Amino acid sequence: MYKIESKNVNLHYGTFHALKGINMSIEKNTVTALIGPSGCGKSTFLRLFNRMNDLIDGVKIEGECLIDGKDIYSKSIKIDELRKRVGMVFQKPNPFPKTIFENVAYGLRVNGITHKNFIEERVEICLKQAALWDEVKDKLKKSAMALSGGQQQRLCIARALAIEPSVLLMDEPASALDPISTAKIEELIYQLKELYTIIIVTHNMQQAGRVSDSTAFFYLGELVEFDSTKKIFTNPSEVRTQNYITGRFG
C-alpha cells in the first residue's frame, strides 16, 4: 500500500481551476519534491494533505486524497486528528512568540497532553531530531524570537515533529534561509526520511536533486511528470519538464 495517494484530484478556487486531475502515489519513508513555476499548484497540492486549503473561502475539492489508504476528506475524519498525523513546515519560519520550550510543546498541549515529564522528554527528543538541541539546550525558557532565521526554521521542524506525525509536509522550508542554514535543513530532511514520509515544495532545482527520491513537475495546475528524481533530472520523458529543469522557462 502507498503511504499517500491522490486520485483524480481537482481543486477550484472560485472559478479558478488550480489542480487538474492529479494522480500521484507516494511510497512510505521517501522524500518527494514538488517543483514547478510559481502559481503552478504545487503548494496547493501539498496543502491538500493536511487540509490547509479548507481555511480558504470558496475552495472546492473533488477526487480522493488517501493517507494509509483512508480518504482524508471523508466525513468520518476529524480535521484536528488528521493534522496531528500530518506535520507541516512553512515557507517563512513562524515560531509562536513564546519560549523555545513552549513552541515545541504547543502541539502536545493542544492535543490534551499535560504530563510534565513526557512533554519535557518529547521536547528534548524533537529538538535533537531537528539538530537544534545543542544550540538551545541552555535557553529553553528564552523567547523563540531571539533565534536566527535558520534556527527558527529548525525549531518549527521540531515543533512539527513533537506530535509524532507520520507525514511531514514542507512548503519551501529553506527559501528564506542563507546557504549554511539551508544545508543544515537539507541534511536534516535526509535523516528524517528514516522516520517520516516527506513531501517538499521547492523552487531550488539543486535542492530537489539533492534531497528527494522522487520529483513531481507541476505546470499550470497539471502534474506533467512524476518519476524518480534521477530520471527527472537526467532523462525526463516530457519536453516541458526538460525545458523547465534546464531553465528555458519558468
Residues that bind another protein (CB under 8 A): 50, 52, 55, 57, 80-81, 83-84, 87-88, 90, 92, 94-97, 106-107, 109-111, 143, 145, 156, 159-160, 162-163
Instruction: Tell me whether residue 96 or residue 133 sits nearer to another protein (CB atom).
Output: 96
Q: Cell numbers 505546470 correspond to what residue?
A: 219
Instruction: Tell me whether residue 81 or residue 120 sits nearer to another protein (CB atom).
Output: 81
Distance CA 158, CA 197 (A): 15
Instruction: Tell me whether residue 145 or residue 239 sits nearer to another protein (CB atom).
Output: 145
Instruction: Tell me whether residue 42 or residue 83 sits nearer to another protein (CB atom).
Output: 83
Report CA-CA distances (Å) from 245 to 39, 193, 239. 17, 24, 10
CB of 76 to another protein, least distance (A): 17
CB of 218 to another protein, least distance (A): 21
Under 8 Å between Cβ of 8 and 64: yes
CB of 111 to another protein, least distance (A): 5
In the chain, DSSP finds a helix count (H) and a strand count (E) of: 10, 10
φ, ψ dihedrals at 227, nearest 5°:
-160, -175
CB of 229 to another protein, least distance (A): 26
73 by DSSP, 3-state: which?
coil
Instruction: Tell me whether residue 9 or residue 105 sits nearer to another protein (CB atom).
Output: 105
Please, is 202 exposed, middle or buried when counting C-beta atoms within 10 Å of its C-beta (0-12, 13-18, 19+)? buried
Q: Name residues whose C-beta falls within 8 Å of residue 68's C-beta, 6 or more positions apart in sequence.
A: 1, 3, 166
Instruction: Tell me whether residue 17 or residue 84 sits nearer to another protein (CB atom).
Output: 84
CB of 201 to another protein, least distance (A): 14
By DSSP bridging, strand 197-201 and strand 214-219 are unpaired
CB of 239 to another protein, least distance (A): 36
